[in-house]
A and B are shown apart, each in its own frame.
Chain A
Amino acid sequence: MNAFLQAITIGIPQGALYGLMGFGIAMIFRSAGTLNFSHGYSAMVSVLITLTTIEWFFDAGIVEGHAALFAAIPVGLISGAVFGVLIDLLLMRRVKHVSPASMLMITLGLLLVFEGTANLVWSPDYESFPRILPGPPFIFEGTGALEEIRVVFRRNDLAVMLIALVISLSLAAVMKYTKIGLAIRARGQDPVGAQAVGINTNRVDSIVWGLALLLATVVGILVAPITRVHPTMLMNTQLLGITAAVLGGFSSLFGAVWGGLMIGVLERVIDIFPALDGYETAIIFFLIILVLVFKPQGIFAPKQGRKA
């Protein structure tokens, strides 16, 4: 019982990050039409830029202590958005009309470029990264009948959950109520239809790439204290982010967030059983295969109308 509660407490914030990662991946998939294999790697470079900025602020003595992190975060986020827009403008726009396969190959190439850049310009070492909310963990202990309960909740996870919640809600509002959100959804449903109502789909694609990689940078900054900063720090998050998007069905963006939460919790719950230790990823991917076979639209996909 206690182990389950503990697994869920750690799994939810972790899953929220997979979900945000998956949201960006699904957004690029639906709108720009490719699976971005470099998603986590460009975010990793943005995290390195954030870290370097923190150190620079520190050395220059401009900002003191923890404030340096918050001063550096905007720099990191902007770099994420800039990477996204540049990838779209310089690379994707040229091959968009050629074939989806060429876009996919470019994202695989970018993965290597980002990883190589991190190794060359920075280093393959593991660097520590400051937490948003430093301090000792919260410990919840039951009393009376619940005496056996003792759940540890990492303080930084509070920040992770709040940020993930605020971002999810604001993204939902943007997608539903703003003009640009409407344009993104329309472009994802039918590119020619979107152009017929006057939407500049090239501009939508740039915005989607920028927004998705900015989001990935947020995830990178939030996981960095746990994974530490190194060239493959987001490999696992990206893989499970793609999984979350598959699980949620690429047809609904917020399905990815739910999918991510499920994966995060599942990963920790599997962890409870010593016999299954080390098989978390294998079990999760086995479930993905089941989903793809029995419900290929994703488990949260809305009922589709007949195709006419």
Chain B
Amino acid sequence: MLEVADLRVSYGPIHAVNGISFTVGEGEIVSILGANGAGKTSTLFGIMGIVRSRGSVKFRGEELRRRSPTEPTSKGMVLCPENRRIFPGLTVEENLRLGTFVRGEFKETAEQAYSLFPILKERNRQIAGSLSGGEQQMLAVGRALVANPEVLLLDEPSLGLAPVIVDEMFRVLADLRKKMAVLLIEQNAVKALSISDRAYVLQNGSIVHSGEAGAMLRDDNLRKAYLGM
């Protein structure tokens, strides 16, 4: 469904992503794991056209030009960025409405987001900046879901959240599997692998390992070498 080949992202002389290739299939949850600075976020930004990138990104067999995030988003690739990146001065509902800026019918998709995260419905009219960190993360995921994604690109959804909220978040993500493909980027490798089908390990901008998520969880050498567990 999503095929990335030889993706390269550089910022001036610094190469953040050195020609990586990976795929995400229909209804699959695929994780990209790696430490800080491994190039995870740059990979997503490159795919979405937020930063300039070279290489090929094909969605349903069609090559994306990636001049701006408008094109990938309108085709159904929706990003939920790191650090939530909600609009703090707008209300919860306005934030969700903005999620349908280029794709999705708010009236139809909002109910789905509200049913996954009932707290958002409760806080509908509240200014988003006044939500707690966990609620803001739910809003960020909700904002991505109202665009009715075919592939959801999730960047560090567990960052800075209390463990109980992380569990809640991953329970919701596991449920999404039936409706859409998910490309998950995480530092929390155990959590990510436990809901993923496959995973790639990114180090210094290159993929150093890939495989079935279950097998990776059991592979002691891999865990020690790359995932620091």
Contact = CB atoms under 8 A, between A and B. Distances in A.
Interface stretch (A54-62, A127-135, A199-207, A209-217): A199-207
Contact of A198 (B80, B129, B147): B147
Interface residues of B, number: 37
A99 interface: no
B185 to A, nearest CB: 14
B101 A183 contact: yes
Contacts of B80: 196
Interface stretch (A17-25, A155-163, A235-243, A300-308): A300-308
B127 to A, nearest CB: 5
A141 interface: no
Nearest to B87: A189
Contact of B68 (A179, A192, A200, A307): A200
B88 interface: yes
Interface string B73-116: 11000111101111111100000001111110000000000000
Nearest to A97: B11
A70 B206 CA distance: 62
B172 interface: no
Given A189-B87, A192-B81, A251-B89, A198 B73 contact: yes
A48 B7 CA distance: 50
A186 B87 contact: yes
A199 B69 contact: yes
Given A183-B101, A202-B68, A196 B81 contact: yes
Size class of the contact patch on chain A:
20 to 34
B176 interface: no
Contacts of B99: 197
B202 interface: no
A306 B72 CA distance: 33
Contact of B48 (A193, A195, A305): A195
A308 B90 contact: no
A182 B70 contact: no
A190 interface: yes
A198 B86 contact: no
A39 interface: no
B165 to A, nearest CB: 12
A185 B132 CA distance: 22
A198 B74 contact: yes
A308 B99 CA distance: 21
Nearest to A200: B68
Given A198-B78, A251-B89, A308-B132, 13 more contacts: A179-B101, A193-B84, A193-B85, A193-B87, A196-B80, A197-B101, A198-B74, A199-B70, A199-B102, A200-B70, A304-B129, A305-B129, A308-B129
30 contacts: A179-B101, A182-B98, A186-B90, A189-B88, A189-B89, A190-B88, A193-B84, A193-B85, A193-B87, A195-B50, A195-B69, A196-B81, A196-B85, A196-B143, A196-B144, A197-B101, A197-B147, A198-B72, A198-B74, A198-B78, A198-B147, A200-B69, A251-B89, A304-B129, A305-B88, A305-B130, A306-B129, A306-B130, A307-B88, A308-B129
Nearest first, the 9 closest Cβ-Cβ pairs linking A and B are A305-B130, A198-B73, A305-B129, A198-B102, A193-B85, A200-B68, A189-B87, A195-B69, A197-B101
